[in-house]
Structure 1
Amino acid sequence: MNYHALKMPAQVYGGQGAAAAVGEIAQGHKKAVLFTDRGISANGLLQKPLKQLKRAGVEVALFDDLPTEPSVYQADEVIRRFRAERPDLIVAVGGGSVMDVAKLCSVLDTDEYTVFDLLESPGAARKTVPAVMLPTTAGTGSEATPNSIVLVPEKELKIGIVNPQMIADYVILDAELLSKLPPKVCAATGVDALAHAIECYTSNKATPFSDLYALGALKLIYENLENAYSQPENLAAKQNMLLAAFYGGVSIAAAGTTAVHALAYPLGGKYHIAHGVSNAMMLTSVMRFNKPYCTDRLAKVCDALVPQPGLDKNAKADWVLDWLDRIVQQVHIPTDLKEFGVRPEDLETLVTLGMDCKRLLNNNCRVVTEADARKLYADLLLN
């Protein structure tokens, strides 16, 4: 069958001050659970959403202790607390971890299955509570994806639960919620968005829909990431990065990420390296590995970012790969695994865990063998 589908949030609000739309969305609802973390709560970023919910006459149960990069057990604990509140609306204000747990809750107000069941049978999920997503980082794209990522400690691996039912009903992209974002987090999440876009554009599952959003994300990142990182007060750049991250999330929903994410997941699962940092570590080495199988696509990225008619396709592809490498360096993301306690003797464990991510490896334009994975990890460990 040669047709494509694009599944997206039903309504998207964007622009500085857009967080006020929470009140409009909440009209007619009785009780909301507001998901966030302690850092967001302490920074005062909940004031506007809370004010709007209360103005709409909605009772609010505040869950402000969501963990960073949660395990499936931590997610299950939050789900149990959520169900006890019996809400009819979910509002998530935070980064990818906050939104991922909130999305799980949106399909788990039921006795029919548990989050552990969804690890094995994600297709069982059914939306039971509408969800509103307000991202406070510009990177994960979780507000647009059907994915929720949880750590399974026994496997030392992060696993994606994927079901279109988890796509948010409403998304609000407001750069004012990024006003206190630390540069270090801005960098890691921004490169995460970059990885999403370039992986989706070169994915085996790429479609005309995902291409449109992936190229849009890449152009926005090219024009805004460095300013968003180096100029914390630049809300215009941050607003554009929010849009880029959202576009990247839409691309994931259509095409899926590839070997960059597959090989990065063990770095987060076993060594607790932040998701954006682990993707940054794998990004350029995997894309250089892929180049012979996606030269035409990489050349089209070059044409979209900086048209260079004097270069042939191979040189254009190299320009893109050099840009990926340069941007990771310019936003000062560490790329030496030894800095995070990873040792050369851990190499075979990483290979085994990385090769288990078949869902993503199958999307990669070039087949990744165990020997390939071993070399990609070794290049980071032994440089």
Structure 2
Amino acid sequence: MKQCQLAIPSIIHAGQGCIEKIAEIIDKEQAENILLFTDKGVRGAGLCDSVEKICAKVSYKVIDDLTAEPAVGDIERVIAEVGKARIDLIIGVGGGSVMDASKLASIIVGADYTLKDLLKNSNIAKKYIKTVMVPTTCGTGSEATCNAIVAIPEQESKQGIVNNCMIPDYVILDVNMIAKLPPKIIAATGVDALAHVVECFTSKKATALSDTYAKEGACKIFHNIRKAYDDADDTEAKSEMMIGAFYGGVAITGSGTTAVHALSYPLGGKYHIAHGVSNAILFAHVMAFNKDACIDRLAQLCDAVYPELSSKSADEKADYIIGEIAGIVKDTSIPVSLKEFGVKDNDLDFLVNAGSQQTRLLVNNCKELSLDDIRYIYKQVM
């Protein structure tokens, strides 16, 4: 086995009702001043009520006005708003955007560098404030990763800031936080999580450690996403999705996503297509394009998820995984064409150019993509 490493959150609490563990965390960290990140939708749904009740025993400030998939300016505004206030603990309650903003605040508040400095060189980052992540979807995996994604409006794309100091200190995986999640959000975030585990398993940077989490996450998500989408009362399926999404985040930290995520960034940056949806539109097409370069890996994944197909050939197993990806997108009613979002044929040049610049992720892809290859993939979803 080649040398590898894996960084994961220090303490993970999982199980129905474990949100109450936040009180213990505050006591343990002797936190007197808390910065709570969320959004108006999450707060309006009452998902922050229990957290705010716990935080009310000390001093806390709520940031709930971040835009979805926040841009550089949004993060800079929040940092300026916090100013030089003393913050002992940051809690993020929400989806990927909320948690990414929380993680960025933990390395910028009190620092002598700026967000724009980090966009140029993320290696300079240091953690100044401990973090607690509470996901309210079953897909982004941000609660486990060392990544934070920000939109760059002037480039009409997104960029990832990556540094292990952003790995959260505490994670709360409480199924009550996704119990009333709309099927549409379960679908989009769930397919995002599925992309994480499949991409990480087929990544050039996959390791024995990341593979363990990617395979187990794939088992949980492939077998439960339809159940969680179809039955609002299936708490067990939602719990499995939440754990699977967390495993996907761990796999990202050890391996890395590939061309699916790389080519989805311009779709979010320019057309504001939700991250999970843009991944879903591209997912099966990218894996089909990659198939000849990762057929053995897809077959291994099929063996882990669907052992009943062990007698099939590697080619058949790879096709089955790709077919299941496409089937899940169809069964959860996620759009499959960019036309539905106003993307036109004459936008192709922009997409190809912007997608090709996502080299941080494209270098992980098992197959090198030329500009013509990228154009081909985008045309499949026009």
Task: Provide TM-score, normalisation by structure 1.
Answer: 0.97
Question: Which residues in structure 2 correspond to 1:275-354 (within 5 Å)?
Answer: 275-307=275-307, 308-354=309-355
Percent identity (aligned): 48
**Matches of 2:311 and 2:179, distance apart in 1:** 41
Question: Which residues in structure 2 correspond to 1:26-41 (within 5 Å)?
Answer: 26-27=26-27, 28-41=30-43
**Matches of 2:98 and 2:85, distance apart in 1:** 18
Q: Give per-residue Cα distances to partners, 1:133-174, cap 9 Å, x unaligned.
A: 000001000000000000001111110010100110000000
**Matches of 2:310 and 2:284, distance apart in 1:** 24
The answer (yes or no) to whether the contact 1:149–1:161 under 8 Å persists in 2 is yes
The answer (yes or no) to whether the contact 2:72–2:150 under 8 Å persists in 1 is yes
CA RMSD of aligned residues (A): 1.1
Cross-structure match for 1:107: 107
**Matches of 2:79 and 2:254, distance apart in 1:** 27
Q: Give per-residue Cα distances to partners, 1:161-217, cap 9 Å, x unaligned.
A: 101001100000001011221111110000000000000000000000110000011
Structure 2 counterpart SS, 1:303: helix
**Matches of 2:311 and 2:121, distance apart in 1:** 51
Q: Which amino acid in structure 2 is aligned with residue 44 of structure 1?
A: G
Q: Which of 37, 42, 45 is the equivalent residue of 1:43?
A: 45
Q: Give per-residue Cα distances to partners, 1:342-367, cap 9 Å, x unaligned.
A: 00000011000000000100000000
The answer (yes or no) to whether the contact 1:82–1:105 under 8 Å persists in 2 is no
**Matches of 1:68 and 1:8, distance apart in 2:** 26
The answer (yes or no) to whether the contact 1:224–1:241 under 8 Å persists in 2 is yes
- Seen in structure 2, the aligned counterparts of structure 1 residues 309 and 180 have a Cα distance that, compared at 3 Å, is closer
Task: Provide TM-score, normalisation by structure 2.
Answer: 0.97
**Matches of 1:187 and 1:300, distance apart in 2:** 25
**Matches of 1:172 and 1:25, distance apart in 2:** 11
The answer (yes or no) to whether the contact 1:132–1:168 under 8 Å persists in 2 is yes
Q: Which residues of structure 2 form unaligned runs of 5+?
A: none
Structure 1 counterpart SS, 2:160: strand
- Seen in structure 2, the aligned counterparts of structure 1 residues 353 and 47 have a Cα distance that, compared at 3 Å, is same
Q: Which amino acid in structure 1 is aligned with residue 106 of structure 2?
A: S
The answer (yes or no) to whether the contact 2:259–2:361 under 8 Å persists in 1 is yes
Q: Give per-residue Cα distances to partners, 1:303-331, cap 9 Å, x unaligned.
A: 11112133111111111111111011011
The answer (yes or no) to whether the contact 2:150–2:160 under 8 Å persists in 1 is yes
Structure 2 counterpart SS, 1:334: coil
Question: Which residues in structure 2 correspond to 1:1-383 (within 5 Å)?
Answer: 2-27=2-27, 28-54=30-56, 57-307=57-307, 308-381=309-382
Following TM superposition, where does structure 1 have runs of at least 4 consecutive aligned residues deviating by more than 4 angstroms?
Answer: none
**Matches of 2:80 and 2:226, distance apart in 1:** 41
The answer (yes or no) to whether the contact 2:84–2:110 under 8 Å persists in 1 is no
**Matches of 1:82 and 1:26, distance apart in 2:** 20
**Matches of 1:256 and 1:4, distance apart in 2:** 13
The answer (yes or no) to whether the contact 1:118–1:125 under 8 Å persists in 2 is yes
**Matches of 1:175 and 1:84, distance apart in 2:** 35
> Is the deviation greater in 254-263 or in 42-51?
42-51
Once the two structures are TM-superposed, the CA of residue 254 in structure 1 deviates from its matched residue by 0.5
Q: Which residues of structure 1 form unaligned runs of 5+?
A: none
Q: Which amino acid in structure 1 is aligned with residue 175 of structure 2?
A: A
- Seen in structure 2, the aligned counterparts of structure 1 residues 111 and 222 have a Cα distance that, compared at 3 Å, is closer
Q: Which amino acid in structure 2 is aligned with residue 309 of structure 1?
A: S
Structure 2 counterpart SS, 1:85: coil
Q: Which amino acid in structure 1 is aligned with residue 39 of structure 2?
A: D
**Matches of 1:205 and 1:100, distance apart in 2:** 23
Once the two structures are TM-superposed, the CA of residue 84 in structure 1 deviates from its matched residue by 4.1
The answer (yes or no) to whether the contact 1:61–1:85 under 8 Å persists in 2 is no
**Matches of 2:341 and 2:378, distance apart in 1:** 14
Once the two structures are TM-superposed, the CA of residue 108 in structure 1 deviates from its matched residue by 0.6
The answer (yes or no) to whether the contact 2:84–2:109 under 8 Å persists in 1 is no
**Matches of 1:86 and 1:69, distance apart in 2:** 26
**Matches of 1:126 and 1:347, distance apart in 2:** 39
Once the two structures are TM-superposed, the CA of residue 53 in structure 1 deviates from its matched residue by 2.5
Structure 2 counterpart SS, 1:45: coil
Q: Which amino acid in structure 1 is aligned with residue 142 of structure 2?
A: S
**Matches of 2:260 and 2:62, distance apart in 1:** 35
Once the two structures are TM-superposed, the CA of residue 52 in structure 1 deviates from its matched residue by 2.2
Once the two structures are TM-superposed, the CA of residue 111 in structure 1 deviates from its matched residue by 4.0
Structure 2 counterpart SS, 1:90: strand
Once the two structures are TM-superposed, the CA of residue 82 in structure 1 deviates from its matched residue by 2.6
The answer (yes or no) to whether the contact 1:179–1:235 under 8 Å persists in 2 is yes
Structure 2 counterpart SS, 1:223: helix
**Matches of 2:222 and 2:263, distance apart in 1:** 24
